[in-house]
Amino acid sequence: MSTVKVALHGDAILTSPQFNKGTAFTEQERRDFGLTGRLPWRINSLEEQCARAYDQLQSRETDIRKNSFLQSLKDQNWVLYYALISSHLQELTPIIYTPTEAEAIANYSHLFRRSEGLYITYPEEDSMEESFLEQTRGRNIDLIVCSDAEAILGIGDQGVGGIGISSAKSAIYTLIGGIDPSKAIAVTIDVGTDNKGLLEDPLYVGWPNRRVRGEDYDRFVDKFVQLVRKYFPHSLLHFEDFGVTNAYTLLERYRTTHAVFNDDIQGTGAVTLSCVMAAIGVTKTKLIDQRIIVYGAGSAGLGIAKQLRDAMVTADGISTEEANTKFWLVDKHGLITHSLPDVREQLKEFAKDIDGFAEQEVGLLDVVKQIKPTVLIGCSTHAGGFTEDVIKSMAENCDRPIILPLSNPSKLVEVHPHDANEWTNGKALLATGSPFPPAKMPSGKDYVIAECNNALIYPGLGFGAMLSQSRAVSDTMIIAGAQRLASLSPALKDPDDALLPDFGDAPKVNFEVAVAVAERAIEEGVAGVDWKKEEVREKAKAKLWEPVYPNYEFDAAGEKGVHAGYKI
Ligand SMILES: NC(=O)C1=CN([C@@H]2O[C@H](COP(=O)(O)OP(=O)(O)OC[C@H]3O[C@@H](n4cnc5c(N)ncnc54)[C@H](O)[C@@H]3O)[C@@H](O)[C@H]2O)C=CC1
Ligand SMILES: CC(=O)C(=O)O
Ligand SMILES: [Mg+2]
């Protein structure tokens, strides 16, 4: 067991979630840190603490209460929080992440108890550097997860509540990617909100103003990005749940100068590519043979289309233009065509001619009937958008339709996977964005619905980039990670099994993804380390953080009252 020197004493160590052990402080530590008399007599192991916390959790009747309980556990004791969730990963991930975290974020100001992470707020622009330094003092930050909360999951603009998604995504990095939580920071960029309900809510705790946009927004965000680059040049900057325009603009603006990563675009593109690769392994077809409809052409939809398109170009050697012809993007005004007004610039390469369609606005069902898709992907936030007609029509022309309703949280799913299974007589190859229980095949066998959520891959992609200290996260690094994930699909062994590994295996799977990404970074020459490819696996193992208590030694000479703690 490692030993860590800590300069906190008495209440200061008990109230530090990073160092607190609660009843697990040893006799010696209790004496050295001034804790005798502040704790009950019995010394518990971490396992005993987990068992007690799990019992307490079970007494909370609703998922949102469980979410609040776990949040307050995290505020008290990181090791216990991560150990508890790690030992019930599949059961508790939906409580701290989608779908329950969506409810927690929507009610952030009403559930608010304690702040966490860094709040970068527009009227405090002049003191941004000071706040940044205060929050990161004494810490060697590898990972910054930030959101401006304009498009949280599928529930839209949530203002300052966006800290909840940064914090949840950061926790997933630790649980699944093995990232040391003391080296990660969650950030909300509070530039106001256009959510009327929040603006009118007297309890709203964010900056109660309409969203700042245009040059002022760009300057404000740029100031933040430059602080990240100045103080933590080797860190990974993860963007989450920005509105579609800013999501693409920021990624393009910074991706050549820092390791930035947009999860909704790149993470979702990568996990969906893995899922489709696994599915075509079942149908014994090639990527180039697919006709793909993407329903919802926002951050995720376009990210998916581009990722699949680029993989087609790489794997099947066709031109980008030819690959673009295999995709039909459908948004709220129907098929993206050259004749639709106000089509976003980035979508134009996928736009189709209206020929062959009677109407100006071509709905999903018409597109399905006309083009006979093999793959149907939903990231529209339109609950029930894949109607029975749509699904049945697709199944008429396709032996094993690949149907991926990816919108989160669960209530926004485009089609309930059990319905899609029933309407296709068990032929559909299915995956969803949030977890669902298994469906029944006509044979009576359970069909496990894979969770095609970027959380199944982004911790590994990010860990691979951090591990190799990459100067950029290249498209080919992402494809390497996606290929590794696809190669671990249970469906490759049994075509009736899940398309992707389950969340219980996510830590092992993400380790493999991280190794693939770091190896690729070294091959491409973007890594900041001078290792050989063969060394990556061992280096990655050594870097994994695990939720176990180290021994503490009191550091009387250390700086008191800050995040002081280092291994000796
Ligand atoms: N499973 C996963 O890993 C991920 C799932 N998502 C989910 O995908 C959904 C979209 O997320 P983003 O792309 O970030 O949001 P976004 O706001 O950028 O995109 C949503 C798009 O759907 C379109 N849309 C809205 N109503 C529609 C309708 N009735 N028919 C067709 N299109 C419609 C919008 O116009 C917009 O273009 C959300 O529910 C989100 O939770 C997003 C990222 C990852
Ligand atoms: C999973 C995710 O990133 C989203 O739904 O936005
Ligand atoms: Mg997201």
Report whether 519 contacts 533 (CB < 8 A).
Answer: yes
Residue (of 448, 513, 454, 430) closest to 479 by Cα position: 513
Mark whether 97 is an active-site residue: yes
Instruction: Calculate how far, in angstroms, residue 93's C-alpha sits from the geometric centre of ligand 1.
Output: 22
Q: pLDDT, tens digit, for every residue of 125-166?
A: 999 999 999 999 989 999 999 999 999 999 999 999 999 999
Ligand nearest to the CA of 408: 1
Contacts of residue 477, Cβ cutoff 8 Å, sequence gap at least 6 = 461, 464, 465, 470, 517, 520, 521, 524, 526
Integer Cα distance of 120 and 146 in angstroms: 10
Residue 65 burial (CB count, 10 A): 15
For the residues 549-556, what does the mean pLDDT come to? 94
**Where do you find CATH 3.40.50.720 in the chain?**
266-453
Going by pLDDT thresholds of 50, 70 and 90, the confidence category of residue 558 is confident
Q: Is the CB of 452 under 6 A from ligand 1?
A: yes
Is domain 266-453 in CATH 3.40.630.30, yes or no? Answer: no
342 known ligand binder: no
Report whether 448 contacts 497 (CB < 8 A).
Answer: yes
Which of 21, 74, 81, 97 is flagged as catalytic?
A: 97
Instruction: Calculate how far, in angstroms, residue 378's C-alpha sits from the geometric centre of ligand 1.
Output: 8
Q: Is the CB of 79 under 6 A from ligand 2?
A: no
Q: pLDDT, tens digit, for every residue of 33-67?
A: 999 999 999 999 999 999 999 999 999 999 999 99
Instruction: Calculate how far, in angstroms, residue 258's C-alpha sits from the geometric centre of ligand 3.
Output: 20
Q: Is the CB of 324 under 6 A from ligand 2?
A: no
For the residues 298-321, what does the mean pLDDT come to? 95
Q: pLDDT, tens digit, for every residue of 180-193?
A: 999 999 999 999 99
240 known ligand binder: yes
Q: pLDDT, tens digit, for every residue of 366-417?
A: 999 999 999 999 999 999 999 999 999 999 999 999 999 999 999 999 999 9
Going by pLDDT thresholds of 50, 70 and 90, the confidence category of residue 564 is very low
Chain-centroid distance of CA 499 in Å reads: 19
Q: Which atom of ligand 2 is nearest to the CA of 263?
A: 3
Integer Cα distance of 300 and 379 in angstroms: 6
Query: Residue 312 pLDDT > 70, yes or no?
Result: yes
- What ipTM goes with this model? 0.99
pLDDT for 356: 64
pLDDT for 561: 42
**Where do you find CATH 3.40.50.10380 in the chain?**
93-258
Integer Cα distance of 319 and 499 in angstroms: 28
Give, using CA atoms, the residue closest to atom 36 of ligand 1: 298
pTM for the predicted model, two decimal places = 0.95
Residue 521 burial (CB count, 10 A): 29
Beta bridge partners of 432: 451
Residue (of 384, 4, 23, 439) closest to 182 by Cα position: 4
Q: pLDDT, tens digit, for every residue of 316-367?
A: 899 999 999 999 999 999 999 998 888 899 999 999 987 766 667 899 999 9
Mark whether 231 is an active-site residue: no
Q: Is the CB of 151 under 6 A from ligand 2?
A: no
Q: β-strand 292-295 against 327-331: which pairing, if any?
A: parallel
Q: Any idea what DSSP says for residue 265?
A: I
Q: Which fold has domain 93-258?
A: Rossmann fold (3.40.50)
Report whether 361 contacts 385 (CB < 8 A).
Answer: no
Residue (of 336, 342, 146, 310) closest to 227 by Cα position: 146
Going by pLDDT thresholds of 50, 70 and 90, the confidence category of residue 21 is very high
